[in-house]
Amino acid sequence: MRVRRSLTIKQMAMVAAVAVVFIFVFIVIQLFYFVQQNRNDTISRMENMADSVRIPLAQAVLKADIPQAEEVLATLKPAGILSRIDVVLPDQLQTLGISFVPEGKIPRLATRLFSLPVQVSLPLYALGQPGNSQPLAFLVLQADSRYLYRFIISTLSILLTTYLLLALILTVSISWFINRLVIHPIRRVAHELDNMSLQGIGPHQLEIPESHQDDEIGMLVRSYNRNQQACCQGKTGYSEQPSLLVTKNNRLAGFSGSEFAIWLQPQVNMSSGQVVGAEVLLRQQQSDEVWALPEGLIERIEDCGLMVTVGSWVLEESCRVLSVWQRRGIMMPLSVNLSVLQLMHKDMVPALLNLLERYQVDPATLTIEITESRRIDDPQVAANILRPLHDAGVRIALDDFGMGYACLRDLHHLKSVPVDILKIDKSFIQGLPGDAAMVEAIVTLARSLGLKIVAEGIENAQQKDWLIAHDVTHAQGYLFSQALPVAQFESRYLD
């Protein structure tokens, strides 16, 4: 499919039209300004000239000596800027007039617009000085308009050339930027859709261009993807929950055709039995249509460079769920796992803050779980990244505590960002109540640092009883519930 008139042409024409209007206004203002300067200059030169002959001329006029007066006036001719000199009596009677050059032909419009010719009139007194006496006559000097006309023409051509060149550069550079920033991505999306087979149309998901994650193009692609998902689910009755489809177009051959979704595992207050939150867990639909998170999938997603895409989608879906709940007045918090790769991505903080704002989510209802499955190379950098999130009200949890690469080292650095929650890894919980040493040590450490504790992987009542007896009340595990699809979680715990 081809466009009849590209946006590039349209926006170039628009920029050029706007530039031409502005150029016209600028040129008119500047031309009048420069011409006025030139007039003032000519007037002051003519005043000086008139001043230099005023006394001898007054004497000649007083004596009615016309030849002498003509002689005096002739001394002004070499200055070259005058076209005519007149001596006029107070009753407007002209006594003497000398024309140096015949007045050249100047277009009427120019004489009207710029009030040509330029003239100055100076009184002549008998004693040279005004005193109380009436002027004998007036000396009227008239400038040669051809000079000013030539000046107008040359100024106009310089201004026109300069501004048109500027407008050309401006139009081309603005068009180039708009072309790169807006038209290319739109064209790419249009071609992607255009080249799709009819079968692919249903579940097709577009990739959000890298530099458009946070702008209107990103918004358009996201809305398209969401509509596609809703449409597909409507057609197949397949899943009521939005899911992320990774296609070949996402450059991820290994995951081509995967459908991802988020499921929620409840977190409970074991003392009251109340569900107080949930952890968001990624699920992938398997060939047998069962939703699961296959062993090593997160690592494979990280390895093929999909983690930021999938992770951003998980965050956005979580914010969408929170937003729906909060509009219903439900303030239940969600914990979202954040891979270190995602954490270190330069756009993570602004993108997350933008999400919270866009979905109108209370930041205190979102907890970010930092896992130590990958080494945090520089915990101080991680701390600097987390600080603005924490300052915005987002809670920070350290996941799988005790299992990571260097948890104490990280905790030491992370203490500059108040971590709010330590999650005790399920491998330690499994040893309870017989092997409690590690859990006891972690609980003591967390308490001394003033952190909240969430125990993970509670599978039986003995583990639960031991934790309650040691004042660890918040937990998640199969004893309470496995992860559930969002709709099921809502109907079980929120309705």
Size of the site for ligand C2E (CB under 6 A): 23
Determine, following the binding rule CB under 5 A, whether residue 337 of this chain makes contact with Ca ion. Answer: yes
372 near Ca ion, rule: CB under 5 A: no
SS3 (DSSP) at 398 = strand
Site for ligand C2E in 130-149 (CB under 6 A): none
| String of contacts with ligand C2E for each residue 418-457, x by CB under 6 A | --------x-----------------------------xx
Report the nearest approach of ligand C2E to the CB of residue 477 (Å): 3
Nearer to ligand C2E, 185 or 311 (CB): 311
Whether the ω angle into residue 130 lies within 30 degrees of 0, i.e. cis, is no
- Counting Cα atoms < 13 Å in the Cβ hemisphere of 185 gives 20
Q: Identify the residue whose tokens are 């290994």.
A: 254
> Could you write out the DSSP letters of every residue in 433-481?
TTS-HHHHHHHHHHHHTT-EEEEE---SHHHHHHHHHTT--EEESTTT-
* 298 near ligand C2E, rule: CB under 6 A: yes
Q: Helix/strand/coil (H, E, C) string of 348-417?
A: HHHHHHHHHHHCCCCHHHEEEEECCCCCCCCHHHHHHHHHHHHHCCCEEEEEEECCCCCHHHHHHHHCCC
Rg over CA atoms, the chain? 43
Site track for ligand C2E across 455-484, x = CB under 6 A: -xxxx----------------xxx----x-
Kindly state whether residue 339 participates in binding ligand C2E, applying the rule CB under 6 A.
yes
Is 83 a binding residue for ligand C2E by CB under 6 A? The answer is: no
Selected range binding ligand C2E among 51-59, 104-112, 215-223, 334-342, rule: CB under 6 A: 334-342
How far does the chain reach from its first CA to its final CA, in angstroms?
49
CB 203 within 8 A of CB 244: no
Residues written for the chain:
495
In the shown chain, the binding pattern of residues 411 to 440 toward Ca ion, with x for contact by CB under 5 A and - for none, equals ------------------------------
DSSP state of 359: T
436 in Cβ contact with 458 (< 8 Å): no
- Tokens for 246? 């990774």
To the nearest whole angstrom, how small is the minimum distance from the Cβ of residue 19 to ligand C2E? 50
Per-residue x/- track, 360-399, ligand C2E (CB under 6 A)? ---------x-x---------------------------x
Shortest Cβ distance from residue 234 to ligand C2E (Å)? 25
Q: Which of residues 439-458 bind Ca ion (CB under 5 A)?
A: 456
Comparison of 72 and 281: residue with beta carbon closer to ligand C2E: 281
Helices and strands (H and E) in the chain: how many: 17, 15
Residue 282 interacting partner from ligand C2E, Ca ion, none (CB closer than 5 to 8 Å by kind): ligand C2E
Binding site for ligand C2E (CB under 6 A): 265, 281-282, 293, 298, 311, 314, 337-339, 369, 371, 399-400, 426, 456-459, 476-478, 483
